[in-house]
Amino acid sequence: MMAAPAPPPAFPADWRWHHAHAAQSLEDVERLFPGRFDLSRLDRAGIARAAALYGMRATPYYLALARAADPRDPVWALAVPDPRELVVRREELSDPTGDEVPRNHPLRAVTRRYPDRALLLVTPTCSVHCRHCFRKRLVGNAEYAVDEAELDAALGWIEGQAGLREVILTGGDPLTLGDERLLAVLRRLDRMPQLRALRVHTRMPVVNPFRVTDALADALAGLRLPLAVGVHFNHPVEVSGEAAEATRRLHARGLAVLNQAVLLAGINDDPDVHRELLWALHAARVRPYALHHADLVPGTSHLRTSVQRGYALMRALRGTLPGHLLPWYLLDVPGGHGKVPLDYPWVQSGVQGGLRIEAPDGTHHDYGVRLD
């Protein structure tokens, strides 16, 4: 068992301060947390090479949730580069979800993989560079920054698409933008008559929860269109008091707060850990929505499980949690073809064309309805 670390320093509860002081190296970690973490056993050279290849950013707030400088610690594993990221497998892809496949990418800041929805990538900036991120190629990369002309062109294109019903702000992290710029984009979208919903995908309530101010929550709730906030909690330790306060602040204004986790080896693939995560989200007024099978991101094979492992997790959760706490287990088809649901195979072909069903309690039953 890991020894309890020294208490973290008292940092200001200011999102801009945490964003500006994010650690970008182990030296920054030592400076921010003198004496808290024992770094002596780490492969510092390997970590530095991984950071040089994929970048590193971790807010002081988020790092303070780690109990040890150890890849077995969930926060450390998700925030700090690992030398294993230098191992790239043949099947891994720089754009595993097909954001930039030409048929899905009409403009530089837009991805459209479904007829009724589009992604608007408003910034490549994040407060934390998650080690499993499926957009590692662009996060923190200035080449993906969107200037005013490109953003205006993207919004103009969206306005002209009569079939769109929802626009999802993503990146990077849209909440790294200041209120004025973020709300200018949302309010322009809010005026488009064909749209019926807006969504913002952000990890800020998890890694920099001070970003969710009363003023921001009020402004988001004041839009004409219903807005959902997609957050990204992967482990119960991330659902801290500050994070739960941020999500409850959004929920109190009538905003839907939806969680999209990623199935990660050694982090949340244990049923007991995942069950605790789902209950913690419920207490924080967050609805579990999706559990994504980890994408084929370069250098992330040590974090990916097998699909069978995902099946086993969903099998263990079913029947031990209320149904409304169970997320969809999803796989994003490589090449930009969209997401498909995965689930434990509860139903099989039975005798005489009927069904053979496994119940949550482990018993098996014949159901006399033909599959055809």
Active site residue 311: no
Active site residue 135: yes
Active site residue 287: no
Active site residue 181: no
Q: Out of 49, 84, 108, 114, which one is annotated catalytic?
A: 114
Q: Out of 62, 211, 295, 329, which one is annotated catalytic?
A: 295
Q: Out of 339, 343, 344, 356, which one is annotated catalytic?
A: 339
Phi, psi of 77 (to 5 degrees): -65, -30
Active site residue 117: yes
State how far the Cα of 282 lies from the Cα of 288, in Å rounded to an integer: 8
332 in Cβ contact with 320 (< 8 Å): no
Q: Residues for the chain: how many in total?
A: 372
Radius of gyration from C-alpha coordinates of the chain: 21
State how far the Cα of 65 lies from the Cα of 63, in Å rounded to an integer: 5
State how far the Cα of 294 lies from the Cα of 330, in Å rounded to an integer: 9
Phi, psi of 48 (to 5 degrees): -65, -40
Angle value at C-alpha 341, between 363 and 290, nearest 5 degrees? 100
200 in Cβ contact with 169 (< 8 Å): yes
Active site residue 214: no
Residue 344 is encoded by which pair of tokens? 């434990």
**In a 10 Å sphere around its CB, with 0-12 CB exposed, 13-18 middle and 19+ buried, how is residue 276 labelled?**
middle
For every residue of 112-130, DSSP letters joined together read EEETTEEEEEEES--SS--
Q: Out of 67, 95, 126, 329, which one is annotated catalytic?
A: 126
Q: Out of 44, 108, 117, 181, which one is annotated catalytic?
A: 117
202 in Cβ contact with 174 (< 8 Å): yes
Active site residue 339: yes
Residue 122 is encoded by which pair of tokens? 């408003």
284 in Cβ contact with 248 (< 8 Å): yes
Active site residue 136: no
Active site residue 191: no
Q: Out of 36, 57, 131, 135, which one is annotated catalytic?
A: 135
Buried/exposed 353-371: b ≥16 CB within 10 Å, e otherwise: eebeebeeeeeeeeeeeee
Q: Which residues are catalytic?
A: 113-114, 117, 126, 130, 133, 135, 295, 332, 339
